[in-house]
Structure 1
Amino acid sequence: MQTSERLPTPDAAASPATLRGPRPGDIGFVVQSHAALYAADYGFDASFEALVAEIAGKFLASNDEARERCWIAEIDGEPVGSVFLVRASDAVAKLRLLLVTPQGRGQGLGQRLVDEAIGFARSCGYRTITLWTQSNLTAARQIYQRAGFGLIESKPHRSFGQDLIGETWELRL
């Protein structure tokens, strides 16, 4: 689970963001936005895009609407962010694919997306939410910490054309 981190470019005239379920074309936005932002910001290669496409495609093909969700954040009808909550087991959910584009940054949208997913997980009866991110994604890590997640494992790995430190985080509900 990752989010890209350029400095916010708030626009005082921008409309507030709204959260909604996915519509046709939104999963393409999720894949394209992750691939482009992570390539530009972190030098991630096409294997990252493949992972995002796999996660998003699996959600489209077989999500359980009663226990799994995708939220799309939009401003003035344009998508600017996403997050997924998917089932890992009856008791455990996974937070996946958190992203806020530069156009959506600076208004707490990442936190809103995570909080929405946590509320949904609680309503479904999950007892734990886990996520996987990278140590260099400091903005995302701050969001997870503020939401009450704790770091439970760090492990160096080579992925997406980079040497990274993968982190597993967990929130007990």
Structure 2
Amino acid sequence: MLSVRQADRAGDLGWVVMVHGEVYHREFGWTTAFETMVARIVADFAAGHDPAREALWIAERDGERVGSVALVADDMPDVARLRVLLVSPAARGLGAGARLVRQALEFALDRGYRRVVLWTVDGLESARKIYQAEGFVLAGAEPHAGFGHPVTGQTWVLELAARRHSMVR
């Protein structure tokens, strides 16, 4: 059985960092530079997130962690940022990624954010499909030094007003 819960148990934050490092190295050859970036994101969240406006969730399958996503306040008012979305290979195709993203977007709506942004890289097709299904639009792309080899960074944006309108119907 698949479930989504707040990341509030011992080991949750460390697991997010570890699984990102392991999976992205195995699948894309990314270096520890990527794991370091994820560790900073998670450490910043742990050190000072506002629980009323920011959260991190864990997807579990039969009690085992299989995915993560976070929603954090951006530097711009009323804008949130989606971070650290990942579903472990063994749980892909079960809808965990879509459930995690929907959980984060519902949280953003409930907290009054007007926009959600995210940064990712090209080549992550499953994640891109989830973002597009939820209404995110590609707002820009640029070369990025990458995490062992060059990639194209992408910024995606979702205007929550349109989502609110579609939910009312």
TM-score normalised to structure 2 length: 0.92
- CA separation in 1, counterparts of 2:120 and 2:93? 21
1:157: Cα distance to partner? Answer: 1.6
Greater RCO (Cα-Cα under 8 Å, separation 6 or more): 1
Asked if 1:34 corresponds to 2:6, the answer is: no
- Equivalent residue for 2:95? 108
Q: Give the aligned residue type for 2:70.
A: F
- Equivalent residue for 2:2? 17
Q: Is the Cα contact below 8 Å between 1:128 and 1:171 reproduced in 2?
A: yes
Provide the alpha-carbon RMSD of the alignment. Answer: 0.7
- CA separation in 2, counterparts of 1:81 and 1:134? 18
- Equivalent residue for 1:6? none
Asked if 1:66 corresponds to 2:49, the answer is: no
SS at match of 1:161: coil
Unaligned runs of 5+ in 1: 1-15
Unaligned runs of 5+ in 2: 161-169
1:103: Cα distance to partner? Answer: 2.1
Q: Give the aligned residue type for 2:59.
A: A
1:105: Cα distance to partner? Answer: 1.3
- CA separation in 1, counterparts of 2:39 and 2:124? 20
Instruction: Report which stretch shifted further, 152-161 or 126-135.
Output: 152-161
Q: Give the aligned residue type for 1:111.
A: A
- Equivalent residue for 1:98? 85
SS at match of 1:140: helix
1:76: Cα distance to partner? Answer: 1.6
- Equivalent residue for 1:75? 61
Q: Give the aligned residue type for 1:42.
A: F
- CA separation in 2, counterparts of 1:126 and 1:112? 19
Percent identity between matched residues is 48
Q: Give the aligned residue type for 2:45.
A: F
The runs of at least 4 aligned residues of structure 1 exceeding 4 Å deviation read none
- Greater fraction helix: 2
Q: Give the aligned residue type for 1:86.
A: V
Q: Is the Cα contact below 8 Å between 1:17 and 1:104 reproduced in 2?
A: no
1:90: Cα distance to partner? Answer: 2.8
1:145: Cα distance to partner? Answer: 0.2
Q: Deviations over 1:38-69 (max 9, x none)?
A: 00000100100000000001101101000000
Q: Is the Cα contact below 8 Å between 1:84 and 1:97 reproduced in 2?
A: yes
Corresponding pairs, count: 158
